[in-house]
Amino acid sequence: MKIKTVTASMTLLLLFGALVVTPTSAYFMTGSGAYGGDPGRDAIMFTEDDLDYHSVIEGVANAGIEVFTVDVSYSGDAYKNFEFIADRTDGIHYDFWATSASDLEEDIDDMVPPGGKVDVVFTFDLTSSMSGTTSTVKQIAKDIIASLNTMDLDPMFGVGSHMDYPYYYDSYGYADQYGDNDTDGDSYGDIYGDYAWSLDLDFIDNKTALNGTIDGLVLGWGGDGPQNYVRVLYECRESFSWRADATKIIVMFGDSPAHAAPSGLIEVEKTTEDPVEVDALGVKYTWTVNVTVENIGPSTILEDVVIYDRFGGEFEVIPENVILATSEIKDKKHESHQFFLVEDPITGDRHSIKLTYTGKTRKVHMECWLDVLGDRSLDPGEIATITLTVSTDENPMGHQEFTDWGTHDLNSGATVKAIVEPVADYRVQTSWVSDPIAVEAIEE
More confidently predicted of 243 and 79: 243
The overall average pLDDT reported for the chain is: 75
Q: Is the peptide bond before 275 cis (omega within 30 degrees of 0)?
A: yes
| Separation between Cα atoms, residue 94 and residue 66, nearest integer Å | 13
Does pLDDT of 20 surpass 50? no
b/e per residue, 331-347, with b = 16+ CB within 10 A? eeeeebbeebbbbbeee
| Separation between Cα atoms, residue 85 and residue 83, nearest integer Å | 6
| Separation between Cα atoms, residue 174 and residue 164, nearest integer Å | 14
CATH class of segment(s) 20-254: alpha beta
Judged by DSSP in three states, 108 sits in helix
Does pLDDT of 10 surpass 70? no
Element (H, E) at 76: helix 76-88
Residue 314 per-residue DSSP state: T
> Domain residues of the chain, as ranges?
2-15+265-441, 20-254
Considering only CA atoms, which of 61, 10, 14 is closest in space to residue 295?
A: 14
Over residues 96-134, the pLDDT tens digits come to 999 999 999 999 999 999 999 999 999 999 988 899 999
For residue 376, give every residue at least 6 positions away whose Cβ sits within 8 Å of its Cβ, in sequence order, or none. Answer: 303, 304, 305, 369, 370
Domain 2-15+265-441, classified CATH 2.60.40, yes or no: yes
More confidently predicted of 266 and 402: 402
Considering only CA atoms, which of 264, 268, 281 is closest in space to residue 230?
A: 264
Q: What is the average per-residue pLDDT within 348-370?
A: 89
For residue 127, give every residue at least 6 positions away whose Cβ sits within 8 Å of its Cβ, in sequence order, or none. Answer: 163, 164, 179, 194, 219, 220, 221, 222, 227, 256
| Separation between Cα atoms, residue 260 and residue 230, nearest integer Å | 7
Contact 197, 41 (CB under 8 A): yes
pTM for this entry: 0.54
